[in-house]
Chains A and B, each alone.
Chain A
Amino acid sequence: MANMVSFDRLSEEEKHARFMERIAAGEKIEADDWMPEEYRVALIKLISMHGISEIMGALPEKEWVPKAPTLRRKLGIMAKVQDEMGHGQLLLRVAEDLMKPYGKNREDIMQDLFSGDLKFHNVFHMPAPTWGDAGLIGWLVDGAAIITQTNMLHASYGPYARALQRICAEEVFHAQHGEAIIMALTEGTQEQRAMVQDAFNRWWESLLMFFGPAQASTTGSSKQDVTIKYNIRTKTNEELRQDFFSKYIPRALSIGLQLPDSTMHFDEESKMWVYQQPDWNKFKQIIKNNGPKSKERLRLRQLSYHNNEWVREALSPMNKVV
């Protein structure tokens, strides 16, 4: 208690210095702890975007839930999509706690999504027209997610780090589920193999974009500097992208896939993959909800929000008489 009182007496700068000492020492920050505004804002942005991306990410896969070609595959993809909604739920709760001092809640998150203020991940704006896409999403999109998320497993913000522990454990199953679909297809008929290559080509650019631009200057803004400064993550966008290449390029080649970028190679000297940049202007457009499926998927969520208005009304505290 004495400690608390003395902490309250500190100036903002002193509080900030204490805070930086704590995270430098590897201590976890909890929801009710003092934190710099910049830290809170960065976390809200990062976690609500992560949470809403999990939820929007269920939509391209949802398409394939009924269409999955066997009973086992139906069960597998149902389990995966359910997990993703669960991740969304978990993360939005973490974000909601952070938003409390601003008097904001879930309702605001949804409104921000609809207005375009809250963005969701670039990959979930893209079409998934074949069963090959369903497999590829699990294998490589979840694979990419594992790479960015394990990078934040030791995030200085405790509630986020703990949510990520659970999420990453499940993501491993998702990647296995995706890989199993891809394996079955590559070992299958010519038509099935073509499905995989086709999906791989289609997702290539989105996968490069997944990790974000290397420098803030590319798109005019990047939260990577702030998140590194506050020990929320450790690696840069480019380091993560390189990790992804090192893990998946050899695997893709070993199952007989052709790289959509014929110039791509590993440079022994710099120990870096050399590849052609995606169109970052296109990336900017996509995350501004101008991607090929952005409007359609937002429309799905808006429709359900609207159709279920009476349910929310019925469940509002005013009606809690039952």
Chain B
Amino acid sequence: MMTIEELHTNPAYQDALVDLLYQLADDDFIVAYRGSEWLGLAPHIEEDVAFSSISQDTMGHATMLYELLESIGEGDANALAHARKADERKNAILLEMVNGSGTYLQEPKYDWAFAVVRHYCYTLAKTIKMKSLQQSSFEPLAQLAVKINMELHYHLLHWKTWFTQLMKIPGESQERMVAAWDRVMKDMKGVLALGSYEEDLVKYNVMTNETQLMHSWMQEMQSLISNYHLPIEVRLKMNSGNGRLGEHSKDLEDALNTLSSVYRIDPTAAW
């Protein structure tokens, strides 16, 4: 088991761990933002309440992860969340993509099918990662993963219900869902990717490898598809680039500008 105090004894371990923590934190931070943009725009009020609760949990996970980074010497958690530039971010590109045309304040033409598919696919991936991380050699992360997984259980159930329901209803619903699925598949591989430190992450038992993650994800999805006879196929791709390596779209830059707009007024002030 590795603790925060002992980290400095193994710089290679620390580098790999830090990279992974950024991936996890940045994923949750940006996807919680995309979720919060939906606020007041969901298909009905009950869903608005449920979805905003999920986004809030997810932002809470990001906060805990940034705080963990702070505790291992990466700097102030708020600065990590708000001040890092797009090319320093490690989130998957799929998660930064806009919800649709317009902005969350002006003429938002958001696609509920894309929201459901993206959030379901992501939540499933996150669940699998957190299960693996519960066995992590880095003790604080193993503990955090247990905590996160408890809330994740409800998120997964929520999105799975929407996903299977809308996928099964023939006509416009199914057409939109299949189109959203095809879009998500084009970059879903990037969510399951582990970046350039994968070898060390496995070597030091921080977490399982990428191949295993993808295998578990595909297996879960495959069984859902056959159980519910869904008209889709799993084809994981990474067409828009690898966010784990700092490759990002303009969507992320715009999002970060919004997310940090008040913070940037005075980063040294207490807010």
A positions within 8 Å CB-CB of B? 55, 58-59, 62-63, 65-75, 78-79, 81-82, 85-86, 88-89, 92, 131, 181, 184-185, 187-189, 191-192, 296, 299-301, 303-304, 307-308, 310-315, 319, 321-322
Provide the residues of chain A in CB contact with B263, threshold 8 Å. 69-70
Main secondary structure on B side of the interface with A: helix
Q: Which of A72, A189, A307, A312 contacts B63 (CB 8 A)?
A: A72
Given contacts A307-B109, A308-B42, contact A319 B59 (CB under 8 A): no
Given contacts A70-B78, A310-B172, A310-B176, contact A189 B36 (CB under 8 A): no
Q: Within 8 Å of chain A (Cβ to Cβ): is B196?
A: no
Provide the residues of chain B in CB contact with A92, threshold 8 Å. 45
B positions within 8 Å CB-CB of A? 33, 36-37, 39-46, 48-49, 52-53, 55-56, 59-60, 62-63, 66, 77-78, 81-82, 104-112, 164-166, 168-169, 171-173, 176, 255, 258-259, 261-263, 265-266, 269-271
Provide the residues of chain B in CB contact with A319, threshold 8 Å. 169, 173
Provide the residues of chain A in CB contact with B41, threshold 8 Å. 300, 303-304, 307-308
Closest to A57 in B: B40
Query: By the criterion CB–CB under 8 Å, are A82 and B45 in contact?
Result: no
Given contacts A300-B108, A303-B108, A308-B42, contact A89 B49 (CB under 8 A): yes
| In the A-B complex, the 6 residue pairs with the closest CB atoms | A314-B173, A304-B41, A69-B271, A69-B262, A308-B43, A82-B52
Count how many pairs of residues, one from A and one from B, have CB atoms less than 8 Å apart in the complex. Answer: 148
Provide the residues of chain B in CB contact with A315, threshold 8 Å. 43, 165
Query: By the criterion CB–CB under 8 Å, are A66 and B36 in contact?
Result: yes
Q: Which of A67, A89, A131, A313 contacts B258 (CB 8 A)?
A: A67
Provide the residues of chain A in CB contact with B66, threshold 8 Å. 71
Query: By the criterion CB–CB under 8 Å, are A311 and B78 in contact?
Result: no
Nearest Cβ distance between residue B13 and chain A, in whole angstroms? 26
Provide the residues of chain A in CB contact with B169, threshold 8 Å. 314, 319, 321-322
Query: By the criterion CB–CB under 8 Å, are B259 and A66 in contact?
Result: yes
Extra pairs beyond A62-B36, A192-B266, A192-B271 (16, CB < 8 Å): A62-B104, A69-B263, A70-B82, A81-B52, A82-B52, A85-B49, A131-B265, A131-B271, A189-B269, A191-B265, A299-B107, A300-B40, A304-B42, A307-B111, A311-B173, A321-B168
Provide the residues of chain B in CB contact with A313, threshold 8 Å. 172-173
Provide the residues of chain A in CB contact with B111, threshold 8 Å. 307
Closest to A311 in B: B43
Nearest Cβ distance between residue B136 and chain A, in whole angstroms? 23
Query: By the criterion CB–CB under 8 Å, are B271 and A70 in contact?
Result: yes
Closest to A130 in B: B262
Provide the residues of chain B in CB contact with A59, threshold 8 Å. 40
